[in-house]
Amino acid sequence: MTIWQSIILGIVEGLTEFLPVSSTGHLTIASKILGLKIDDPSITGYTAVIQVGAIAAVVLYFWGDIRRIVTAWVRGLARPQHRADADYRLGWYVLVGSLPIGIIGFVAQGLISGPLRSLWWVAGALIAWSFVMVAAERLGTRTRPFDDFTFTDAIVMGLVQCLALIPGVSRSGATISAGLFRGLDRVAATRIAFLLGIPALAGAGLYELKDAVSGNVGAAALIVGTIVSFAVAYASVAWLLRFVTKHSIEVFVLYRVALGLTLIILLATSTISAT
């Protein structure tokens, strides 16, 4: 992988990781356009590793919240009298909600980095999950704030987050939709989606690091892609949180469907290959 290819993929990752449009799907498409082998373990490993840059951006953006939650969680572990603190409970909710995708991602690693890397899967998931996003906006009451996040919400959103292992679904799109179905407002669902993504994506990046460095990617490309991803993702997070205060996530549906249909046409006419 060349440095310019790593820069392009870093930009794609940073732009799409937290928007409900599927970063994995876009990275798969971008890798294909750049002439990279999308089912190569080193390429799939690279795309997981540069997600760490995007996660670092979220950690920086939410540093005040994260420090408060971690402090309350550690204090509660040490002293039972502090366990009534809402931030202590929130710390457990984030950890529990992050477990399902970690377990399923590990068990189904071969499927995720192999057959599911087909652009047919990407196209189908882009379109199919769009209907779920519309339903979440139309059926969700959006009356519950961030402070009303519960253990049940964490379980539901954590389980639904597992569907994002299918390229094209979108991790943020899955978790935000689940939060909306649970009655959370858009800002609350989006903030929780970001928090749930920190352990999941950081773990995936560290686990896939061995495949990325053992292949044809190179340390320089990994470092550059991760730095670019960090810078672009920080701006993307700030923009999305402002956007969802006044706008529906349905605005992303038209783009997802258009991209999915375009892929299907290109694949059906053999203009591009699926892998």
Cα(204)–Cα(153) distance, rounded to whole angstroms?
23
User: What is the DSSP annotation of 62-122?
Assistant: THHHHHHHHHHHHHHHH-GGGTT-HHHHHHHHHHHHHHHHHHHHHHTHHHHHTGGGSHHHH
Pick from 76-85, 108-117, 148-157 the range whose average pLDDT is largest.
148-157
User: By mean pLDDT, which of 62-76, 81-95, 97-111, 220-234 is the weakest?
Assistant: 97-111
| pLDDT > 90? residue 273 | no
Of 1, 108, 112, 126, the residue nearest 48 (C-alpha): 112
pTM listed for this prediction: 0.88
Q: Decide which of 275 and 194 is more confident.
A: 194
The string of pLDDT tens digits covering residues 178-226 is: 999 999 999 999 999 999 988 877 777 776 666 666 666 778 888 999 9
Q: Decide which of 37 and 179 is more confident.
A: 179
Which stretch of DSSP H or E encloses residue 189? Answer: helix 186-214
Find out whether 270 and 140 touch, Cβ atoms under 8 Å: no
135 band by pLDDT with thresholds 50, 70 and 90 = very high
DSSP letter (8 states) at residue 272? S
Q: What 3-state DSSP class applies to 144?
A: strand
By CB atoms closer than 10 A (0-12, 13-18, 19+), residue 251 is: exposed
CA within 13 Å, CB half, 247:
11
What does the pLDDT read at residue 214?
60
* Angle subtended at Cα 274 by Cα 168 and Cα 202, rounded to the nearest 5 degrees: 40
Reading the block at residue 95, the tokens are 């950890």
What does the pLDDT read at residue 97?
94
Q: Beta-carbon neighbour count of residue 243 at 10 Å?
A: 16
What does the pLDDT read at residue 212?
61
Main-chain phi, psi angles of 170, to 5 degrees: 95, 120
Q: Which residue is it, tokens 């402070």?
A: 147
